[in-house]
Amino acid sequence: MITQASQLAEYCQRAVTKPFLAVDTEFVRTRTLYPQLGLVQLYDGEQLALVDPLAVDDLSALTELLVNPSVVKVLHSCSEDLETFWTAMQVIPVPVFDTQFAAGLLNLGPSLGYAKLVEQRLGVSLDKGESRTDWLARPLSEQQLDYAANDVLYLHALYPQMAEEVAALGRTQWIFDEMAQLANKKRSELPDEYAYLNIKNNWQLKGKALLVLQELAKWRQQTAKTKNLALNFVFKEQFLLELAKRQPSQKNALFAVPGIPPQDVRRHGDELLGIIQRCQVVAPEHYPAKIERLIDYSAYKRVSQSIRQLCEGLATELSLPVEMLGSKKQINQLLKWLWFDLEEGKLTDLKPDLLCGWRGPLLQNGLSQIVGAIDHPGS
């Protein structure tokens, strides 16, 4: 276990000379908004390092290694790892080769788990018994350390052959494109004032009630960030919606809302009532626009089915799972970006997946024929 900055610097100095590096993280995210980094596993083919980020007081050598363009970082299903690196260290590894994504490109399955991939490709059965460990606890047991080490030991062994097979298909850049797009998503953040757009059933509200929901969701988001608490540990989503509908003006009315725990009213009641009260004097012209829904568009079913058929045809030609090329979620993302005034991609300056990276050149012409010229609305 690496517990000192000097040990880490020494390891990174050697690892930077290697063409690729297996990387994994262990983190805890039970009550927090952001994942809490508990361990970083590294394997360069010669030496396996378990880095204790709770003990090492200077992680700059690791940061430099993670962004060194000459060393490919090999991870598996890396979305949460990238988020953890970003929130804990303000760094995102590059370039990244994700073995789960590579497995999809090789038509082994769209979201193959690490243990299954290792068993399929290397004939090794992994013990997943420590997956629910508290990685912030110290000391970690030998079993926990072995489990963590195995995550990079076999990852390193998977890479050479998978990289060769992906390269033979001419799809290596697809992986780097996909990971770069994922990194952009991890770095981007929806402004707090638009947090209400992610509240389930928000479309049921309009006018002043929607304004109240907007302000309550903004308060919850900011509180969660300040205290590093998961959103529903601040205040449950369904209660925000209920308060926006009822708009109580007194604390006893808050206690009367079904389901809201009394301790939540005691803890947050004054703030909640203050937010609701401030919304009462806002002029109607400042209310948020009514929430748009795809199912309210008459063309939605026809257009989404046409895009799905386009993706299915191309996926068959390319021997890809259709979910990798264009899932229902990604199709909906594109149509919201095209049709909605308030859409997350526009608010965070991110284009839809179907227009980005490796998918864009494959789908652009077909999509243009279905929905017309593909361009950022207003640009």
At residue 376, the pLDDT reads 44
Active site residue 151: yes
Q: Which of 11, 147, 154, 194 is catalytic?
A: 147
Measure the CA–CA gap between 147 and 133, rounded to whole angstroms: 10
Active site residue 98: no
First to last CA, the chain: 52
* Structure-block tokens of residue 98: 């994700």
Contact 234, 222 (CB under 8 A): no
Q: Which of 52, 81, 83, 178 is catalytic?
A: 81
Class of domain 294-371: mainly alpha
Active site residue 26: yes
Q: What letter would DSSP give residue 258?
A: T
Q: What letter would DSSP give residue 28?
A: E
How far is residue 5 from each of residues 9, 15, 272, measured CA to CA in Å? 6, 15, 46
SS3 74: strand
Contact 53, 38 (CB under 8 A): yes
CATH 3.60.20.30 fits 5-187, yes or no: no
At residue 369, the pLDDT reads 95
Domain boundaries for CATH 3.30.420.10 within the chain: 5-187
Q: Which residues contact 64 (CB under 8 A, 6 or more apart)?
A: 12, 16
At residue 133, the pLDDT reads 87
List of the chain residues with pLDDT < 70: 130-131, 373-379
Quickly name the fold that domain 192-286 has: DNA polymerase; domain 1 (1.10.150)
At residue 379, the pLDDT reads 33
Measure the CA–CA gap between 350 and 64, rounded to whole angstroms: 26
Q: Which of 24, 83, 98, 343 is catalytic?
A: 24
Contact 65, 73 (CB under 8 A): no
At residue 373, the pLDDT reads 64
At residue 378, the pLDDT reads 37
Measure the CA–CA gap between 229 and 208, rounded to whole angstroms: 28
Q: Which of 151, 215, 343, 353 is catalytic?
A: 151
Measure the CA–CA gap between 308 and 304, rounded to whole angstroms: 6
Residue 355 neighbours by CB distance under 10 Å: 20
pTM for the whole structure: 0.93
Q: Which of 26, 44, 52, 178 is catalytic?
A: 26
SS3 250: coil
Domain boundaries for CATH 1.10.150.80 within the chain: 192-286, 294-371
Q: What letter would DSSP give residue 27?
A: E
Measure the CA–CA gap between 331 and 311, rounded to whole angstroms: 10
Contact 24, 131 (CB under 8 A): no
At residue 372, the pLDDT reads 82
